[in-house]
């Protein structure tokens, strides 16, 4: 495809973007920005974003992404609590590296989730991208969990998922959302280095 044709399609799809998708994208970007800043506002802004995307993903036939947004909602509530609670009545949970056991657990969750979700999507839905949808969902589940417990590696999972979501959402005609994931990718890389720097300074 020529570059000019690509941008023509991009602009055409961009003009068709709904107000609801724009609102979701704005709150999604705010959520990632606040996460990078280790700001508790990551959760209320994220909750608005995920609830809107439950609706958007359902109508786009991205059923696994719709499901993960429900999981995001639950994990956001948990993360909101976990970031503000005091541990041993002294301090809030701090940023840290994931242990070897944690890495093994994270990878197993991705594998098991992928097998289960892809099976459901292939056999019980009309999804046109079942395996990609299942994989990104599995990766994001782990990313959300690691963010809730403030592990630096959460950013690595977000980066992997963002890279894959870029073409997937574009293919589904959600161009503005695809652009959102491009910004997510940049912020995730920045977030990784920011969190790592904070741990080193501590």
Q: Provide the domain count of the chain.
A: 1
In a domain, 1, yes or no: no
Q: Centre a 10 Å sphere on the Cβ of residue 99 and count the other Cβ atoms it contains.
A: 10
* 139 in Cβ contact with 113 (< 8 Å): no
Helices and strands (H, E) in the chain, number of each type:
8, 0
190 is in which domain, residue-wise? 16-201
pLDDT digits (tens, 9 = 90+) for 162-192: 999 888 887 777 777 788 789 889 989 998 9
In a domain, 3, yes or no: no
- Residue-wise DSSP of 125-172: S--SSHHHHHHHHHHHHHHHHHHHTTBTTHHHHHHHHHHHHHHHHHHT
pLDDT digits (tens, 9 = 90+) for 63-98: 877 877 888 788 888 888 877 765 555 556 788 999
In a domain, 5, yes or no: no
In a domain, 69, yes or no: yes
Over residues 38-57, mean pLDDT: 87
In a domain, 33, yes or no: yes
Instruction: Return the pLDDT at 1.
Output: 45
pLDDT digits (tens, 9 = 90+) for 114-169: 999 999 989 988 888 889 989 998 999 999 889 888 899 999 999 999 999 888 88
Distances (CA, A) of 57 to 60, 106, 119, 136, 189: 5, 25, 19, 13, 25
Distances (CA, A) of 87 to 38, 90, 148, 149: 17, 6, 14, 12
Q: Is the pLDDT of residue 12 over 70?
A: no
């Amino acid at each position: 495809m020529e570059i000019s044709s690509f941008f023509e399609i991009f602009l055409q799809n961009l003009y068709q973007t709904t107000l609801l998708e724009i609102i979701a994208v704005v709150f999604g970007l705010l959520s990632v920005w606040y996460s990078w800043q280790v700001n508790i506002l990551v959760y209320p802004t994220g909750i608005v974003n995920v609830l809107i995307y439950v609706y958007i993903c359902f109508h786009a036939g991205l059923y696994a992404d719709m499901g993960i947004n429900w999981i995001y909602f639950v994990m956001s509530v948990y993360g909101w609590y976990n970031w503000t609670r005091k541990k041993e009545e002294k301090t809030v949970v701090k940023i840290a590296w994931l242990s070897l056991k944690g890495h093994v657990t994270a990878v197993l969750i991705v594998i098991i989730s992928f097998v289960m979700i892809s099976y459901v999507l292939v056999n019980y839905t009309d999804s046109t991208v079942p395996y990609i949808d299942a994989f990104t969902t599995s990766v994001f589940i782990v990313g959300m969990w690691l963010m809730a417990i403030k592990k630096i590696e959460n950013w690595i999972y977000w980066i992997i998922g963002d890279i894959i979501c870029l073409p997937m959402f574009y293919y589904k005609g959600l161009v503005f959302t695809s652009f959102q994931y491009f910004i997510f990718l940049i912020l995730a890389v920045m977030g990784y280095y920011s969190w790592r720097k904070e741990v080193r300074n501590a």
